[in-house]
Amino acid sequence: MRLRGILATVVLLLTAMPVAAESDSKQGDNSGTNPINFTYDFRIYTELQEFSADGDNGGGLLTFEYRFPIGDKWQFRTRLRGVSRSFDPEGDGSSETTTGVGDFDFRLLTVPYVTKKIAVATGLEVFADTASSPLLGEGKTSLGPQAFLVWFAPGGVKTTLFAPAWQYVFDVAGDDGRPDVDRHQFDFFYLWIAKNKKHWAMVDPQLVIDNENDKEFGQIEFEFGQMMFGPTSSYIRPGVGVGADRPLGWNVELGFKVIWR
CATH code of the domain containing 7:
2.40.160.40
pLDDT of residue 165: 97
* Cα 128 versus chain centre, distance: 15
Provide the domain limits for residue 241: 2-260
**Which residues, 6 or more positions from 83, have their beta carbon under 8 angstroms from its beta carbon?**
59, 60, 61, 62, 99, 100, 101, 102, 131, 136, 137
* Local confidence pLDDT in tens for the 261 residues of the chain: 555 555 555 545 444 554 444 444 454 467 889 999 999 999 999 999 998 655 558 899 999 999 999 988 899 999 999 999 987 766 666 678 899 999 999 999 999 999 999 999 999 999 999 999 998 999 999 999 999 999 999 988 989 999 999 999 999 999 889 999 999 999 999 999 998 889 999 999 999 999 999 999 999 999 999 999 999 999 999 999 999 999 889 999 999 999 987
pLDDT of residue 95: 73
pLDDT of residue 19: 45
pLDDT of residue 87: 78
CA distance 217 to 242: 6
Q: What domain count does the chain have?
A: 1
**Calculated CA dihedral for residues 22, 25, 27, 28, nearest 10 degrees:** -70
